[in-house]
Amino acid sequence: QAADAFFAANRPVGLTFDDVTLATLFSDILPKDADTATALSENVTLSVPIISSDMDTVTESRMAIAMALNGGLGLIHYNMPAREQVKEVARVKRHIHGLIQDPITVSPKQSVGDVLDLIEAKNYDFRTFPVLDGGKLVGLLSGSTVRERYRSKNVGESMTARADIHTVSVKALEADPIKAADAFFTEHVGIHKMLVVDDEDHLRGLATFSDIERITSEISNRRRAARDSEFRLIVGAALAPVRLDDGTLDRDRIISHVSQLVDESIDCVAVSTAHGHTAGVGDMVRLVRDAFPSLTIIAGNVTSAAGVEYLADCGANAIKVGQGPGSICTTRVVAGVGIPQLTALHVAARGARAKGVKIIADGGITKSGDIVKALTLADAVILGGLLAGCREAPGEIMEINGKIYKQYRGMGSLAAMKSGSAARYGHNKNDTTRKLTAEGIEALKEVSGSLDEVLGTLVGGLQSGMGYLGAKDLTALKQNARYIRVSPAGQKESSPHDVIEIKAGVKG
Ligand code: XMP
């Protein structure tokens, strides 16, 4: 309601983050106790409401793994062949196995050479495999025997026999699998794989020592990774509205792509376009919703209540808001279209309330204070530029005049559109009769260290903001927000001033 009154008084002015500040309130909340958890749907919850953008200079598996370990979510971009994107998703889902319910197994009749070929073909980053015969556990092929020199040997003669393998019963894991796995590895010093079996000796799961160590240290550090119900990291992938030559959606290709992602247990897909309030994007969301009723769908981008309601009616769970606020965007310059981001979030929030869906603030966030302001209206934020300088972002590091940089480019830049993202901007990259009109630029970001550090600083800033507003969680942040319009002099006052800066402050 405070937002309604505030924006009504300022209509039709478009406001963005730096135009407003939030008023403080009495607080009995310490920043460290502010709970930043959010949900994008019934199935996807995050402990940190931050998502890394589905851009080809921001999110591939390495970034997505780091995001999920920090409690957020990474959206793998689509400027790569669909099968490569599926592999990227699989890399995230298999990263921390906690308990792998469906481990890759081999048979005693295979040769070590077959296993080496499998590792190569599937790009596995492990070399130890349970050996099954007729569904039953008969041995364990350890990494030390999976070598080129043993290529001609049989798995059966190379494996450690069943009698020599320590296993744990699936029943012993029911209450708290991580605690039980921790106890197993403490008891069996030197063993690095825990095989889980049922009463018939069927293999029911596998846990690795290093993953369990990492999980227990995360738990003791109170860092809550974002996981699915089977303890795997969560991940999303962007989908483009791929079209046939006649302009209609290529339904078979889209469904086959999403099926492969679902087979890898993807947690959500994002139908990512520059203009989401269109028949084409609506059709695409409906297509995916009809084929995959329980899959979490993010869609966008829109900047109106009607846009949110339209995509919600088509079946989206969470809607991206933002047209042209991004640090590499030129949509507003090129098309003369877009609404400053805080006003866009405000109108979009009305649509979200009407339909009971979530909204995600996408673009234009340059510091942690912007995240706090965005979350007074949205359920999560998407970051591009703030994460593009992290070690985990794809791309080469380059040195210019003693400083190190990474490339960061808009998905609507000419180079990115030629790599595949033209459909996001309503263009066809193979259409040589028309010139692609860029809506983004190619840029550089100074390398900013690891994602852990960058996200840690941003989440610290978010929790500070929540502390100032007496908000114990993000629902309270929305309820407690009171906005004050800032004058140009007030904006100047809000940043360091009248001093000679000798050490640049950490952005965020
Ligand atoms: P930030 O400000 O975090 O913004 O760098 C990232 C978001 O910007 C959007 N995006 C674009 N928008 N032209 C645009 O108008 C582009 O080329 C472009 N590339 C990305 C996208 O929503 C992203 O999450």
- Among 18, 50, 53, 339, which residue has the most ligand 1 atoms within 8 Å of its CB, making it the best to mutate? 53
Residues 6+ apart with CB under 8 A from 39: 45, 46, 358, 379
Ligand 1 centroid distance, CA of 300 (Å): 12
- Confidence label for 282 from pLDDT (cuts 50, 70 and 90): very high
pLDDT per position as a tens digit, 406-451: 999 999 888 888 887 777 677 665 655 555 788 888 899 998 889 9
Q: Is 268 a catalytic residue?
A: no
Which one of the listed residues 62, 329, 390, 409 is annotated catalytic?
329
Give me the pLDDT at residue 430, please.
60
- The percentage of residues in the chain with a pLDDT greater than 70, rounded to a whole number, is 94
Give me the pLDDT at residue 508, please.
40
Cα–Cα distance between 290 and 311 in angstroms, integer? 14
Ligand 1 centroid distance, CA of 54 (Å): 9
**Cβ 208 vs Cβ 142: under 8 Å:** no
- Among 301, 303, 321, 328, which residue has the most ligand 1 atoms within 8 Å of its CB, making it the best to mutate? 328
Structure tokens at 316: 């989206």
Q: Name which of 99-113, 153-167, 288-302, 309-323 the model is least confident about.
A: 99-113
Q: Is 370 in the pocket of ligand 1 (CB under 6 A)?
A: no
**Cβ 468 vs Cβ 25: under 8 Å:** yes
Q: Among the ranges 2-16, 213-227, 478-492, which has the highest mean pLDDT value?
A: 478-492
How wide is the angle at C-alpha 501 spanned by C-alphas 497 and 504, nearest 5°?
110
Query: Phi-psi category of 413—alpha, beta or left, where left has phi over 0 and alpha has psi -120 to 50?
Result: beta
Question: CA–CA distance from 259 to each of 86, 252, 269 (Å)?
Answer: 10, 10, 11
Flag whether 324 is marked binding: yes
Cα–Cα distance between 147 and 463 in angstroms, integer? 50
Q: Give me the interface pTM, i.e. the ipTM.
A: 0.96
Q: Is 461 in the pocket of ligand 1 (CB under 6 A)?
A: no
pLDDT per position as a tens digit, 144-199: 999 999 999 999 999 999 999 999 998 887 767 778 888 999 999 988 899 999 99
Q: Is 62 a catalytic residue?
A: no
Q: Is 410 in the pocket of ligand 1 (CB under 6 A)?
A: yes
**Residue of the nearest CA to atom 14 in ligand 1?**
329
Q: Is 226 in the pocket of ligand 1 (CB under 6 A)?
A: no
Mean pLDDT of the chain: 90
- Confidence label for 219 from pLDDT (cuts 50, 70 and 90): low
Q: How many other C-beta atoms lie within 10 A of the C-beta of residue 226?
A: 22
pLDDT per position as a tens digit, 321-370: 999 998 888 888 898 999 999 999 999 999 999 999 999 999 999 999 99
Return contacts of 227-230, CB within 8 angstroms, 24+ apart: 227/68, 227/96, 227/98, 228/43, 228/265, 228/267, 230/98, 230/99, 230/101, 230/265
Residues 6+ apart with CB under 8 A from 473: 34, 35, 36, 37, 466
Flag whether pLDDT at 507 surpasses 50: no
Flag whether 322 is marked binding: yes
